[in-house]
């Protein structure tokens, strides 16, 4: 199996970056994919920039690599730009993925985007409270 994965992907199966819950997140999402695996993402945002992102997964090794890369790509980017991180961006950054596991990158990008949308929704509620 290992020969089908890039060195970058294999390294992240074994040592995923940002694999933990953030203690004071600004946004959070949990999605169960069609494969039955669940990913969770947490984000912190400072002045419109993703300052930290983390994730966990109940899924396969490839989902650890994809979640890791999604957080790595998101950190340091403006929220609007981080929301555009796609399945393909994650696959490209990992040096590809066998067909059977390409959907793991989709679950990662969808869950990251949902966490950022959760941040935006709660930020606008805070704004409304401030204005009231």
Which positions touch ligand FES (CB under 6 A)? 33, 35, 37, 59-60, 62-63, 101, 104, 107
Query: What secondary structure does DSSP assign to 66-106, as a single string?
Result: HHHHHHHHHTTSBHHHHTT--HHHHHHHHT---GGGHHHHH
Q: Which is nearer to ligand FES, 107 or 115 (CB)?
A: 107
Q: Nearest distance from residue 50's CB to ligand FES, in Å? A: 22
CB of 61 to ligand FES, least distance (A): 8
Q: Which is nearer to ligand FES, 16 or 26 (CB)?
A: 16
DSSP 60: -
Taking the complex as a whole, how short is the minimal distance between the CB of residue 113 and ligand FES, in angstroms?
Answer: 16
DSSP letters for 14-48: HS-TTBS--SS-SEEEEEE-TTS-EEEEEEEEETT
CB of 97 to ligand FES, least distance (A): 10
Q: Which is nearer to ligand FES, 14 or 129 (CB)?
A: 14
Q: What is the DSSP letter of 1?
A: -
């Amino acid at each position: 199996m290992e020969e089908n994965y890039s060195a970058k992907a294999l390294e992240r199966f074994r040592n995923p970056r940002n694999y933990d819950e953030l203690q004071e997140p600004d946004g959070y999402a949990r999605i169960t994919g069609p494969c039955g695996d669940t990913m969770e993402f947490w984000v912190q945002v400072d002045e419109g920039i993703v300052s930290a992102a983390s994730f966990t997964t109940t899924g396969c090794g490839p989902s650890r690599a994809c979640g890791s890369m999604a957080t790595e790509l998101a950190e340091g980017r403006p929220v609007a730009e981080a929301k555009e991180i796609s399945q393909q961006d994650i696959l490209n950054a990992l040096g590809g993925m066998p067909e059977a596991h390409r959907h793991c990158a989709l679950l990662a990008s969808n869950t990251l985007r949902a966490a950022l949308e959760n941040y935006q929704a709660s930020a606008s509620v805070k704004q409304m409270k401030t204005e009231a």
